[in-house]
């Protein structure tokens, strides 16, 4: 999609709003029609969108209109991980990954990760604001006010989405506020594991958790399996979920590692088969083109003969041209020698009466500076004739 200028867009209706931005449906205007647009304080989002452009990321503030369908229909997250892998490789963390920010067009097989209003450039050991991400997708690091988080925050959010998908429970962690959100997480992942995480990073837990956190053991994932979702909960899916929903952000999979997980083998295999089919189709088209080229038969043979004749003619012409060039150079040398000879006679350095024998032998010798020029007598005769001919060539 080309990047339209703001002056070429007209707002139609409001589709929705978030804490930091609003979404409008718009139409493209004819060229040269200007519309004033109110400036907003979104410099960071603009800067981030200017820094990269990938197929799975909409690279503009004017977003394309996508025929969106319910996110619960999505059964493969491969393209979403691909989008995150790209933005993380560019040093950017999204910080607001959730179903509402994923637009899917199943008919066109396209996925878009949108709303980069909370995205930030990542720098190691830098402290960041914990008031990011939507409540149901906040990582534990945000809920315990740990500010030195990194790209793995996006992986937790994707883990929550994945759990909702395979267990058919949306949202998977449904807290009433940020404090209750951590309690809901601890009831699944366990409080002992939470305290280990807090001790490892020397985090001071808010005193309000003393009354609401309680003590909970880690639940097995099969506790969430029932008849309606059991076909989605495979061994690979459980292993994948375990490596995404970890208290310790350093233990979570990266986006690249997630793409390489066995859970996505069917997706990778499908892509491989499509690539192979496309390559086979291209090879077949090339073969058909080659067959069509050879159907001329005799005409091609005649063309080959004509080509051979032309090659021979060109070689012959090159040979004749080379011979002519050599002859012309010899003539020019002879003319120079004659001029030198005549100038010396005119200065009295070489009496004409005593030098006529120079032309009587097989060669004539003329001294010029420190070099000796030997000119065939026949060449001198040809040169005299060349000088008298007004158009020798």
Q: How far apart are CA 210 and CA 34, in angstroms?
A: 59
Of 79, 76, 74, 84, nearest in space to 252 by CA? 84
H, E, C per residue of 71-104: HHHCCCCHHHHHHHHHHHHCCEECCCCCHHHEEE
pLDDT in tens, 237-289: 999 999 999 999 999 999 999 999 999 888 888 778 888 888 888 888 877 76
Look up residue 57 and give its DSSP letter.
B
Would you state the pLDDT for residue 228? 92
Of 170, 165, 179, nearest in space to 76 by CA? 165
Would you state the pLDDT for residue 70? 35
Give the CATH number of domain 53-277; options: 1.10.3720.10, 3.40.50.620, 3.10.105.10, 1.10.510.10.
1.10.510.10
Would you state the pLDDT for residue 66? 52
Q: Which H or E run contains 113?
A: strand 110-113
Would you state the pLDDT for residue 42? 62
**Six-digit token string for 129:** 């604001």
Kindly give the confidence (pLDDT) of every residue in the chain, 393 residues in length, as a single tens digit, with 9 standing for 90 and above: 445 455 577 777 888 777 667 788 887 776 555 455 455 546 677 777 667 655 565 554 455 555 443 334 444 688 899 999 999 999 999 999 999 998 877 777 778 899 999 999 999 999 999 999 999 999 999 999 999 999 999 999 999 999 999 999 999 999 999 999 999 999 999 999 999 999 999 999 999 999 999 999 999 999 999 999 998 899 999 999 999 999 999 999 999 999 999 998 888 887 788 888 888 888 888 777 666 555 555 545 445 545 666 677 667 777 777 776 777 677 667 777 767 766 776 666 554 444 444 344 444 443 343 344 444 444 444 444 444 444 444
**What phi, psi does 24 have (nearest 5°)?**
-125, 145
Q: Record the pTM.
A: 0.61
**Six-digit token string for 349:** 């350095």
Q: How far apart are CA 190 and CA 187, in angstroms?
A: 6
Of 171, 136, 154, nearest in space to 83 by CA? 154
Strands 92-93 and 102-105: unpaired
Q: How far apart are CA 374 and CA 393, in angstroms?
A: 25
Domain boundaries, the chain: 53-277, 322-393
In the block, residue with structure tokens 């030198």: 340
Q: How far apart are CA 381 and CA 357, in angstroms?
A: 15
SS3 call for 367:
strand
Would you state the pLDDT for residue 315? 73
Look up residue 14 and give its DSSP letter.
E
Would you state the pLDDT for residue 348? 62
Would you state the pLDDT for residue 110? 77
Q: Where are the alpha helices (DSSP H) in the chain?
A: 43-51, 78-89, 140-143, 152-167, 178-189, 191-200, 209-212, 235-242, 255-259, 265-294, 298-346, 377-388
96 is catalytic: yes
Would you state the pLDDT for residue 281? 85
Catalytic residue from among 96, 115, 150, 154:
96
CB 156 within 8 A of CB 140: yes
CB 137 within 8 A of CB 185: no
320: left (phi over 0), alpha (psi -120 to 50) or beta: alpha
- CA 79 to each of CA 91, 138, 306, 371: distance values in angstroms, whole numbers, following the listed order: 19, 22, 56, 82
Helices 152-167 and 235-242: crossing angle in degrees, nearest 10, is: 150
């Amino acid at each position: 999609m080309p990047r339209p200028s703001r002056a070429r867009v007209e707002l139609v209706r409001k589709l929705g709003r978030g804490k930091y931005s609003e979404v409008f449906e718009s139409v493209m205007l004819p060229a040269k029609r200007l519309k004033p647009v109110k400036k907003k304080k979104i410099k960071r989002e603009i800067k981030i969108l200017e820094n990269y452009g990938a197929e799975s990321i909409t690279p503009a503030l004017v977003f394309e209109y996508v025929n969106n369908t319910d996110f619960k229909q999505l059964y493969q997250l491969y393209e979403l991980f691909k989008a995150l892998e790209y933005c993380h490789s560019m040093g950017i963390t999204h910080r607001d990954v959730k179903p509402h920010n994923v637009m899917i067009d199943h008919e066109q097989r396209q996925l878009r990760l949108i709303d980069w209003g909370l995205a930030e450039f990542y720098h190691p050991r830098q402290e960041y604001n914990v008031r990011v991400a939507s409540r149901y997708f906040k990582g534990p690091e945000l809920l315990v006010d740990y500010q030195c988080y990194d790209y793995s925050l996006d992986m937790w959010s994707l883990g929550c989405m994945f759990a909702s998908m395979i267990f058919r429970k949306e949202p998977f962690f449904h807290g009433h506020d940020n404090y209750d959100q951590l309690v809901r997480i601890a009831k699944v992942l366990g409080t002992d594991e939470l305290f280990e995480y807090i001790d490892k990073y020397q985090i001071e837990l808010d005193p309000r958790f003393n009354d609401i956190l309680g003590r909970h053991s880690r639940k097995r994932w099969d506790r969430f399996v029932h008849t309606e979702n059991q076909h989605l909960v495979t061994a690979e899916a459980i292993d994948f979920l375990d490596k995404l929903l970890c208290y310790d952000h350093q233990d979570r999979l990266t986006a690249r590692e997630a793409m390489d997980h066995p859970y996505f083998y069917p997706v990778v295999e499908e892509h491989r088969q499509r690539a192979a089919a496309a390559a086979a189709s291209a090879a077949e088209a090339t073969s058909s083109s080659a067959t069509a080229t050879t159907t001329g038969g005799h005409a091609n043979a005649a063309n080959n003969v004509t080509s051979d004749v032309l090659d021979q003619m060109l070689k012959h012409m090159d040979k004749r041209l080379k011979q002519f060039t050599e002859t012309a150079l010899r003539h020019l040398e002879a003319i120079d020698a004659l001029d030198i000879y005549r100038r010396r006679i005119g200065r009295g350095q070489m009496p004409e009466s005593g030098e006529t024998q120079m032309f009587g032998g097989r060669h004539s010798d003329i001294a010029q500076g420190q070099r000796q020029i030997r000119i065939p007598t026949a060449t001198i005769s040809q040169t005299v004739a060349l000088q008298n001919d007004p158009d020798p060539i």
